[in-house]
């Protein structure tokens, strides 16, 4: 992997006027209290669907609205609940909603009722046009070459092929989670090879825990960008960035570039702590890129960070630098 310092990108960003990078779309943040790892899917008819982790880690909920701000007051529906025993019985984490070839899919992570940290990736499907209706079918586990702790699956298309990126413990023990990429044989099956495109190596990725997780893909300006989250889910949580030229072989890890520093992280002046696990969508007119993410508005956490329920879903405009890179506007509020 090529490690590229973002200094020049950041210099170009700072050099641009504040007017150009001001947030001209306002959001009524937080969009959803106590909703972490948020994923917003914009359907073909313009409807927005919000799916996220609930603090009880016991179910999957969904809400919809014709506007992003409307998600705040939208009625929420429980569409699936954890098993009482066995697999999919605990730690229901980070669901993502995708519409693929006329079928809705939800990718999520789950542990076992009797072994709560034996976390793997699972899939639900629904053939209803409206994912709030119809029946959600359990499609089973996303099987990986290495049978180990794995979560945070996301999927995207490139050159008429479908790919998945997910987080997995690939070294065992204290190695933590890396991001792995594979082509898919279908929306429920990988075909390989499975390629590690980043693993925790910098200090900001290794605060308390060694973590690369929560990948989200956005394709712009001849590149594929992947944001991801790093470190423990307290105030140290932050976003890093990967990118690759669209024309390059994306299954060759050496073609991927990685930011040497975090691109979005705690800003105490703005009372934004531990921002991370984002997704991307567009504004109602389709002209502006929007980042959906979670954060807390306080630093000190009583007990373990995963027991604190107050990661809230937020939205903000994503701007772009003249060099074609995403500008996460670290020093601007929501």
> Is 213 an active-site residue?
yes
Among 194, 213, 305, 327, which one carries the catalytic annotation?
A: 213
Alpha-carbon gap, residue 223 to 143, rounded angstroms: 29
Q: Using alpha carbons, list the distances in angstroms from residue 328 to 10, 13, 165.
A: 10, 10, 22
Q: What is the sign, positive or negative, of the torsion defined by CA atoms of 6, 8, 10, 13?
A: negative
- Closest Cα to residue 74, out of 63, 89, 85, 61? 63
What tokens does 83 get? 């098993």
Find, among 147, 93, 100, 151, the residue nearest to 121 by Cα. Answer: 151
- How many residues would you count in the chain? 334
- Does residue 37 carry a catalytic annotation? yes
Which residue has tokens 């976390």?
119
Active-site residue identified among 37, 112, 205, 305? 37
Angle at 130 between CA 126 and CA 133, to 5 degrees: 70
Q: What is the set of active-site residues?
A: 37, 213
């Amino acid at each position: 992997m090529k490690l590229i310092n973002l200094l020049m990108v950041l210099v170009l960003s700072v050099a641009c006027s504040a007017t150009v990078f001001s947030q001209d779309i306002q959001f009524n943040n937080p969009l959803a209290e106590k909703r972490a790892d948020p994923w917003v899917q914009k359907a073909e008819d313009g409807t927005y669907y919000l799916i996220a982790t609930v603090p009880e880690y016991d179910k999957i909920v969904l809400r919809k609205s014709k506007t992003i701000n409307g998600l705040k007051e939208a009625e929420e529906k429980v569409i699936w609940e954890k098993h009482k025993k066995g697999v999919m019985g605990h730690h229901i984490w980070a669901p993502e909603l995708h519409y693929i070839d006329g079928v809705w899919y939800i990718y999520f992570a789950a542990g076992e009722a009797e072994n709560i940290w034996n976390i793997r990736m699972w899939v639900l499907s629904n053939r209803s046009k409206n994912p709030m209706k119809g029946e959600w079918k359990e499609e089973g586990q996303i099987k990986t070459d290495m049978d180990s702790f794995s979560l945070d699956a996301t999927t995207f298309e490139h050159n008429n092929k479908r790919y998945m990126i997910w987080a997995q413990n690939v070294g065992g023990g204290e190695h933590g989670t890396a991001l792995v990429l594979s082509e898919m044989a279908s929306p429920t099956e990988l075909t390989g090879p499975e390629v590690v495109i980043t693993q925790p190596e910098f200090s900001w990725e290794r605060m308390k825990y060694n973590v690369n997780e929560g990948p989200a893909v956005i394709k712009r300006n001849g590149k594929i960008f992947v944001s991801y989250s790093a470190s423990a889910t307290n105030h140290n949580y932050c976003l890093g960035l990967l990118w690759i030229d669209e024309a390059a072989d994306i299954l060759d890890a050496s073609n991927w570039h990685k930011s040497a520093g975090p691109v979005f992280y705690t800003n105490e002046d703005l009372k934004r702590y531990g921002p991370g696990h984002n997704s991307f969508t567009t504004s109602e007119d389709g002209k502006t890129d929007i980042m959906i993410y979670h954060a807390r508005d306080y630093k000190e956490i009583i007990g373990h960070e995963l027991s604190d329920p107050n990661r809230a879903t937020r939205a903000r405009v994503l701007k772009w630098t003249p060099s074609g890179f995403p500008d996460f506007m670290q020093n601007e509020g929501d």
